[in-house]
């Protein structure tokens, strides 16, 4: 499982499981894709399916019981169904900048906003896959992206040293390096420094020990707000940015423009399943699969988390024949979808496993 340090642990008791808590993390830090045969072996060793008590049996026979209309369809390519009713919070990539540094040189935030203007979730998927699957160097992937997008020609006006912070997982390292390359092109003397978890790097950003960081909109909003009982982030990007701005001012930070790119909980099916039903959104899936034949796969917490099975049922009206317990967006869940053990499973929207082959 990937730990995105401990950056998301303050809010999710009522909505999602943490992506990044130390020890109890629900996301794996890297995005290595386990070969299908290995993942099958791991799945067999993982324990009984349906062990959450919400359905399914240890014999893996849930597919037959589920009926035929929306039974799992095996396939190699995973695709995310659009969360068209915004069940998940908007964790779009957004530049976080020390307020004093931003005021001293407006080119700092302007340059990072140039990245946000072009960065898409598909870009994140491809870059994560390039590093974690194809084993390309982070520096090479970042430099290639800056060149491909022509970002160096879009920025200017910078001067002086700037340190861009990064967490110690692939996506953050790639984004921080892109930020640094663009800032260098703008005239800054930019470098990247791995800065630990959010409890460490946000205070460092406040103090000006680092000047910029690639952040996640909803996660950082809830972290700064700090009240576990109150959720101010939502699936609405604009509303979440509006909630973040006054919180950031009191925290000594400013945030730039959010990118289209987002790394958040998502639900995937095989391309073959989507093609067979003609669906691309969760709402379309609900329309197509009203017979209660779907099998859902994910972590053990999914049946009780509002942003997982209960949210799919309440927000979209989906009805599940059973739930099969695997990991949180990791190789076991992805293998279960590919092998046709489940119809749909929890993944993460920028996972390199979603790269088109």
Domain regions of the chain by residue span? 36-86+264-354, 93-255
Say whether pLDDT at 231 is over 90: no
Contacts of 172 (CB under 8 A, 6+ apart): 4, 166, 214
pLDDT category, 62, cuts 50, 70, 90?
very low
DSSP-assigned beta bridge partners for residue 344 = 296
Q: How far apart are CA 291 and CA 79, in angstroms?
A: 22
Looking only at the bridges linking them, the beta strands covering 212-216 and 93-98 are antiparallel
Percentage of the chain lying above the pLDDT 90 cut: 76
pLDDT category, 235, cuts 50, 70, 90?
very high
Q: How far apart are CA 72 and CA 292, in angstroms?
A: 13
Tell me the mean pLDDT in the region 215-238: 92
Q: How far apart are CA 61 and CA 58, in angstroms?
A: 8
- The verdict on domain 36-86+264-354 having CATH code 3.40.190.120 is yes
Q: How far apart are CA 266 and CA 92, in angstroms?
A: 13
Measured CA distances, 195 to 130, 169, 217, 223, 256 (Å): 23, 11, 18, 17, 20
Q: How far apart are CA 65 and CA 52, in angstroms?
A: 18
Q: DSSP code of 42?
A: H
State the architecture of 93-255 in CATH terms.
Answer: Roll (3.10)
> DSSP letter string over 252-286?
TEEE-PPPS-B--EEEEEEHHHHHHHT--BHHHHH
Percentage of the chain lying above the pLDDT 70 cut: 81
Q: What is the pLDDT of residues 150-205, one digit of tens each?
A: 999 999 999 999 999 999 999 999 999 999 999 999 999 999 999 988 999 999 99
pLDDT for 249 equals 93
Contacts of 66 (CB under 8 A, 6+ apart): 72, 293, 294, 295, 321, 322, 343
**Residue that wins the pLDDT comparison between 36 and 335:** 335
**Residue that wins the pLDDT comparison between 227 and 152:** 152
Q: How far apart are CA 149 and CA 185, in angstroms?
A: 13
Tell me the mean pLDDT in the region 109-130: 98
Strand order in the sheet with 265-270: 78-81, 265-270, 344-348, 294-298, 320-325
Question: Which tokens go with 20?
Answer: 């990044």
Q: Are 328 and 17 in contact (CB under 8 A)?
A: yes
Q: Using CA atoms of 141, 157, 240, 287 in order, give the dihedral in degrees to the nearest 10.
A: -40
Q: What is the pLDDT of residues 257-315, one digit of tens each?
A: 999 999 999 999 999 999 999 999 999 999 999 778 899 999 999 999 999 999 999 99
Q: How far apart are CA 234 and CA 207, in angstroms?
A: 28
Q: How far apart are CA 110 and CA 257, in angstroms?
A: 9
> DSSP letter string over 314-329?
HHH---EEEEEE--SS
Residue 344 CB-density burial (10 A; 0-12 exposed, 13-18 middle, 19+ buried): buried
Give, for 295, the enclosing helix (H) or strand (E).
strand 294-298
DSSP-assigned beta bridge partners for residue 324 = 297
């Amino acid at each position: 499982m990937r730990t995105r340090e401990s950056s998301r642990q303050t809010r999710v008791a009522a909505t999602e499981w943490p992506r990044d808590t130390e020890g109890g993390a629900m996301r794996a830090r890297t995005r290595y894709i386990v070969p299908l045969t290995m993942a099958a072996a791991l799945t067999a060793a993982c324990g009984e399916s349906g062990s959450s008590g919400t359905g399914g049996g240890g014999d893996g026979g849930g597919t037959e019981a589920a009926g035929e209309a929306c039974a799992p369809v095996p396939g190699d390519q995973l695709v995310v169904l659009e969360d068209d009713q915004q069940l998940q919070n908007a964790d779009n990539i957004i530049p976080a900048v020390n307020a004093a540094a931003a005021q001293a040189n407006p080119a700092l935030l302007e340059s990072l906003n140039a990245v946000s203007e072009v960065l898409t979730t598909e870009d994140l998927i491809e870059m994560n896959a390039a590093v974690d699957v194809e084993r390309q160097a982070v520096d090479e992937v970042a430099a290639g992206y800056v060149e491909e997008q022509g970002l160096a020609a879009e920025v200017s006006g910078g001067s002086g040293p700037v340190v861009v912070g990064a967490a110690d997982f692939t996506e953050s390292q790639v984004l921080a390096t892109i930020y640094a390359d663009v800032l260098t092109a703008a005239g800054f003397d930019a470098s990247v420094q791995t800065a630990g978890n959010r409890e460490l790097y946000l205070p460092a950003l406040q103090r000006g020990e680092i000047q910029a960081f690639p952040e996640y909109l909803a996660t950082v909003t809830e972290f700064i707000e700090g009240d576990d009982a109150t959720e101010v982030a939502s699936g609405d990007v604009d509303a979440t940015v509006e909630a973040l701005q006054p919180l950031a001012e009191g925290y000594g930070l400013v945030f730039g423009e959010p990118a289209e790119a987002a790394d958040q909980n998502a639900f995937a099916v095989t391309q073959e399943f989507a093609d067979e039903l003609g669906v691309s959104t969760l709402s379309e899936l609900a329309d197509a699969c009203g017979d209660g034949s779907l099998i859902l796969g994910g972590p053990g917490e999914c049946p009780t988390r509002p942003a997982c099975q209960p949210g799919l049922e309440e927000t979209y009206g989906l009805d599940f024949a059973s739930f099969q317990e695997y990991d949180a967006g990791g190789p076991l869940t992805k293998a279960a979808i590919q092998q046709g053990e489940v119809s749909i499973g929890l993944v993460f929207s920028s996972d390199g496993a979603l790269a088109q082959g």
